[in-house]
Amino acid sequence: MEWLYWVEHAVMSLLLAALVRLAMTEGWQGVLRAVLVVLRYIPGVGEVINWVIRRMAVQFAPQLTGAQQDGSKKDRKPPRVVLPKKGQSYDAIVQEMKKLQKEKDTDPHAGKMFAYVYTLEDDASKVQKEAVDMFMEQTGLGDDHDRFVREIYQSFIHTNVLNPFVFPALRRFEIETVSMVASFLHGDDQVVGSLTSGGTESILMAVKSYRDRARKLFPQITQPEMVAPITIHPAFEKAASYFCVKMVHVPVGPDFRADVKAMEQAITGNTILLCASAPQYCHGIVDPIPDVSALALRRKLPLHVDACFGGFMLPWVEKLGYPVPTFDFRNPGVTSISADIHKYGYGVKGASVILYKSTDFWRYQLFSYSGWPGGIFGSCSMAGSRPGGNIAAAWAVLKAMGEDGYMKTAQEVMETTEFMINNIRNIPGLCILGEPHMTAFAIGSRGVNILALADEMESKGWRMERTQNPNGIHCSIMPSHTKVREKFIEDLTAAAEYVKIHNKSSEEGASMAYGLAGQVPDKALVDDFIKEIYMEFYTKC
């Protein structure tokens, strides 16, 4: 094997020459850095280095947070917090939050901070608060829940969670909010995550995390792909575009649920993620997540469940006895879930949570950069600055609502949903698309031009949401619809009859755009058209 000796000799010579050149250009620190990089990729050695880094972080973190280092597990890990069975009073929550803020957080107006918060004098802040209070009185928006949320938001309006050590109270609110949401989505004490500005950011973070995970664990994948049903939210398309991950869409069945066999057939050696909805927004229908979970386990792929729309409704609908497919961490293949607090969680815009099964997945969401002259930089979400008011309000709303509050509201909204669905099915020419699982549905057509129907309803003052493939009208039912449900059915019945008798077609507005889009075979042209409309909206209209 003399030839092998010479190959090894040549490789070592080239490596030595490269190290000498590196030393001449970047110094011996550059050589050391290169050696450490190589060592981290050697099986066994890399694991030891990562273990040492984690141990150093465990020892150093308490110094930043002010926690005592007595070696106890209690001080190293915050206690798990579950959603309270009974909602707490608004006054008690406000007092607790103000106490925590005063004891722990740096006062943005005290003149002792040199970053993160940019404010005028305290008097200006008071004037702003008085203006908000006056606006509430003049507009009649002063119901108890709304006033409570606004007061919490106002109290933390100038805080910023870019640096979690400056505002410890907000760090606690975020950790406990993640914990409370994980509790009713059946996550164990290993589930971790972050609050984001909304469902889109939560989804972006999930896709980014799985892309970076694949880069680390499977470097041979240079063109990553994710597989999802066609009904998955467009935020996944946005993530695919932003992070250079190819979106592979599969069809849904006649029940509008993901075709699991088609998903398996779409998996390739480049697949890094499977995606499903709970429910998909278009028709309010939950994908067969137990089956997708089994597929994920069988093919050793992560599975993200987009519960942005239903995460704060499906758990209570299930407890009320309605049939809901198991969609959460009870499925062993589910590795992450996104859920929006600012939807059926009744928090302020924008607040969402992204949960991961363990830190093994969450670590890839985090970003760090140690080479900036301005200091060491770290971030746990897409945004840098993160408004503290959204996080504080999210925590407060969960505490105030409690399980009993969410159950009560879910029951009321589900009753209204059933009332609407049952009556719509009795309107000649209309139907409900599929079998919805919660407080949303899509109205389909059996002989009525559904887009013309949407136009006719808008002429009566209703704001209608169109769907396509097939055309339909989407309805998300909220507590405010309870008082107008009879009027809605009355107007919908009259509008359907009018459109059918007069053979109306969609001739203007959004319906015309949907009609034209359906006739254009090249969807890239439709995409360009949509972008041009947005440019008109924001530059001329």
The predicted pLDDT at position 153 comes to 83
The predicted pLDDT at position 185 comes to 98
Least trusted range by pLDDT, from 19-33, 138-152, 156-170, 445-459? 19-33
Residue 450 counted as domain residue:
yes
Whether 130 has a pLDDT exceeding 60, the answer reads no
The predicted pLDDT at position 508 comes to 53
Q: pLDDT tens digit string along 179-215? A: 999 999 999 999 999 999 999 999 999 999 999 999 9
> What whole-number distance in Å separates Cα of residue 515 and Cα of residue 176?
47
Residue keyed to tokens 């993640």: 178
Residue 481 counted as domain residue:
yes
| Structure-model confidence comparison of residues 297 and 461, the more confident one | 297
DSSP 468-521: TTTTEEEEE--GGGGGGHHHHHHHHHHHHHHHHHTT----SHHHHHHHHHHH-S
Share of the chain above pLDDT 90, in %: 53
> What whole-number distance in Å separates Cα of residue 463 and Cα of residue 123?
41
Q: Residue 70 burial (CB < 10 Å; 0-12/13-18/19+)? A: exposed
Find how far residue 468's CA is from the centre of its chain: 24
Residue 447 counted as domain residue:
yes
The predicted pLDDT at position 372 comes to 76
Helix (H) / strand (E) containing 532: helix 523-539
| Structure-model confidence comparison of residues 130 and 295, the more confident one | 295
CA distances from 339 to 228, 243, 350 (A): 18, 21, 12
Residue 322 counted as domain residue:
no
Domain that holds residue 535: 405-539
Find how far residue 439's CA is from the centre of its chain: 19
Q: Residue 336 burial (CB < 10 Å; 0-12/13-18/19+)? A: buried
> What whole-number distance in Å separates Cα of residue 192 and Cα of residue 184?
14
> In this structure, are residues 300 and 333 in contact, taking their beta carbons and an 8 Å threshold?
no
Q: pLDDT tens digit string along 267-315? A: 999 999 999 999 999 999 999 999 999 999 999 999 999 999 999 999 9
Walk across the sheet containing 472-476 and list its strands.
430-432, 440-445, 472-476, 465-467
> What whole-number distance in Å separates Cα of residue 333 and Cα of residue 329?
8
Which three-class secondary structure state does DSSP give residue 449? Answer: coil
Tokens of 261: 């066999």
| 506 Ramachandran zone, left/alpha/beta (phi>0; psi -120 to 50) | beta
Q: pLDDT tens digit string along 311-353? A: 999 999 999 999 999 999 999 999 999 999 999 999 888 899 9
Tokens of 183: 């509790």
Number of domains making up the chain: 1
Residue 25 counted as domain residue:
no
Other residues' Cβ atoms within 10 Å of the Cβ of residue 373: 4
Residue 440 counted as domain residue:
yes
Residue 307 counted as domain residue:
no
- Across all residues in the chain, what is the average pLDDT? 81
The predicted pLDDT at position 232 comes to 97
Least trusted range by pLDDT, from 142-151, 457-466, 475-484? 142-151
> In this structure, are residues 431 and 445 in contact, taking their beta carbons and an 8 Å threshold?
yes
> What whole-number distance in Å separates Cα of residue 531 and Cα of residue 320?
43
The predicted pLDDT at position 167 comes to 78
Share of the chain above pLDDT 70, in %: 70
Residue keyed to tokens 């709970």: 278
Confidence band of 16 (pLDDT split at 50, 70, 90): low
Q: pLDDT tens digit string along 31-90? A: 555 555 555 556 665 555 555 555 555 554 555 455 544 444 444 566 788 999 999 888
- CATH number of the domain bearing residue 418: 3.90.1150.10
Residues 6+ away with beta carbon under 8 Å from 308: 199, 202, 203, 233, 338, 339, 340, 343, 352
Residue 501 counted as domain residue:
yes
| Angle at CA of residue 83, ends 77 and 87, nearest 5° | 135
Whether 139 has a pLDDT exceeding 50, the answer reads no
